[in-house]
Amino acid sequence: MQSRFAAQSRPVAADWHDLAEASSIPSQLGVVVVAAAGNGADRPYIVASPSIAPEAICVAQTQVPSAVQNFMTVVSPASIARDYIAVFQPWSAPLTAVIQAPLQYGNGAGGNLNGCAAFAAGSLTGKIVLVDRGVCAFSAKIRNIGDGGGLVGVIGLVTPVDPFEGAFGGGPPITIPGLMISQATANTIKGQLAVGVVARFDPNNKVPLVMSMVSRSARGPSYSFNSIKPDIAAPGASVSAEAGTGTGQVAFGGTSGATPMIAGSAALLIQAHPGVAPLEIKALLMNTAETNIKINPATQPGVVAPITRIGGGEVRVNRAFGRRTYSITPSFRYASDSASGAVNMIAPSSISVPAHGSASFRVRLSTNATKLPIWTLNGGSRGGDGFRLQDVEFDGYITLTDNTDSLRLPWQLLPHRAADVTVSKKVHLKKGTGNLVLSNEDGAVNGRVDVFSLLGTSREIPPRLLPGPGDNFAVIDMKSVGARLVNSGLGPAIQFAINTFGVRAHPNYPAEFDIYVDANRDGVPDYVVFNLENGGFAATGQNVVAVFNVATNAATIFFFTDADLNSANAILTAPLSALGLNASSRFDFSVFAFDNYFTGNPTDTIVNLTYTPSTPRFVASGVPATGVPVGGSSTLTIQAVPGGVAPDT
């Protein structure tokens, strides 16, 4: 028996997530598994579990045919007068005529700024009212504004994400139009309230959004497999039966709303081809999808969505029926990628598929590292920049065409132009000095070199203790820990370098490193240096370093974590002053690795370390600030520090 299965989950995933494994097993037993990509927006690796399971059909959300981009026009003051993007909330009353009026924030007197309390009847008459997101349902805010006499309700976001269609919170119908604006737009308006703001909403001031992405639809690639996800997209803003009402309907959207569209499409194919395997159903849907899907016609006219947002494209199930013989044409999604010469693809010119049979062909994908773009992503300040991922990834389609129709197979490659720094020999000190030659002969970019005092190591955890598919826990296996003194914008600082066995797609999850610092060496930790996602879970994609003061129970964020994507390294920086230290202070510390996604449990430790920042045992110099040159080498000079002692004494 074949059927379909749809689900949605938190927007971070791994192959050892039980939901991902639970999606893989039914597919292997003949069930077509369809799962939502999640609503984590345009951030690298944010696509959700269980949709990251290779067998699952991961569904992104595109705009419904009737979708339009509305705008809020600020009429005055002149300093901010222009159009601003405003997303209409489909559960509110439609905008049928031009509305122009003074704009008020909350109750106009500094109260009820989130609109969750009732406004006095008539107190908002003739006003467009701005309220903050948070605390209560979106629809409750707009209803309260309408009940107070407001003309239009505007929800201002309080975090830097794109405005979206919020969920309906139930209750009586909304009688006024409701829209949502970005945090930046809301802050711009709030900055001019003292001089008075007049806004206008015009139902004719809009841009059609059909065949484009919904901004909140989560981006890939998959966290664990670095493979194409999402797989396909479908319109997702519709209506659904409302439980307990009998015949009632309620607005229903997000990738959870798009997923049933794909499940239904899969059901049609199963009905037409009852003997076809789940992966073939998936391939039929992806291969026949519409690829001409844009990012946002209002903000990026004409720019098509990358494969890591759209996968095979927007579903066109009517194209998925029938068997054919095809000519084969590889292509790039973006002309600039093809012109760069960095990636080359070779495929046969055609393939013949016998009736009721199958055929396969090989595709060769190669890269010229010297022509790849410079990698600009990182896991710190740029860890949430989806647009930077778009700058360095390559994608496109392999198109199979006959006289009747075309099939398209999406491909995606995320190469990293990197250095390949190697050490030519061991160093031997003579009279406290020695040289080490660093070579970058095979590198494609100058090699960055950071030198730390090696303070502690840990053995690799045996494979039998590591998680398997569906185990629902992670193990962060530390390899080594080092430290060094640096100058920062906040004065002298200590940097802790941590290297692990195994890499992480993104430094946010599933690893947290806690460095317990005993500043006065009395055996009791005084501070904890640790990394975390800036703003909370799935908020920004940025990994930052904070210092927790044990005595005051307060934590302060100071720097971004120095870590890349798909890396085993992380550098955590903290001002010495924030740790009650100076350069000559000798202190003790221990490092703990935590699974910060599944269990919160510690998974490895390197403990009882001691360090004096100003007098390490050795220092190194000689590598140019620009790094070890491509095709060349640099000499690293190692010197013993007078008075420096081994880290464990």
| Three-class secondary structure assignment of 184-238 | HHHHHHHCCCCCCEEEEECCCCEEECCCEECCCCCCCCCCCCCCCCCCEEEECCE
What's the CA gap between 291 and 305, in Å, rounded?
9
**Residue 12 pLDDT:** 37
Is the pLDDT score of 53 beyond 90? no
What's the CA gap between 634 and 622, in Å, rounded?
7
**Residue 2 pLDDT:** 36
**Residue 14 pLDDT:** 43
Higher per-residue confidence, 632 vs 644 = 632
Higher per-residue confidence, 370 vs 11 = 370
**Residue 165 pLDDT:** 84
Distances (CA, A) of 607 to 478, 480, 547: 12, 11, 18
Distance of CA 55 to the CA centre of its chain: 22
**Residue 4 pLDDT:** 38
Quote the pTM value. Answer: 0.74
Per the prediction, the chain carries an average pLDDT of: 90
Omega within 30 of 0 (cis) for the link into 50? yes
CB 63 within 8 A of CB 235: yes
Nearest to 569 by CA among 378, 301, 391: 378
Is the pLDDT score of 178 beyond 80? yes
pLDDT band at 646 (very low <50, low <70, confident <90, very high): low
Non-local (6+) Cβ contacts of 493 within 8 A are: 485, 486, 487, 559, 573, 574, 575, 576
Q: In what order do the strands lie in the sheet with 567-575?
A: 453-457, 477-488, 491-504, 567-575
DSSP, res 172: S
Share of the chain above pLDDT 70, in %: 94
- Torsion over CA: 553, 558, 564, 567 (sign): negative
Pick from 266-270, 320-324, 615-619, 628-632: least confident: 320-324
pLDDT band at 310 (very low <50, low <70, confident <90, very high): very high
Distances (CA, A) of 589 to 458, 480, 607, 632: 15, 14, 7, 38
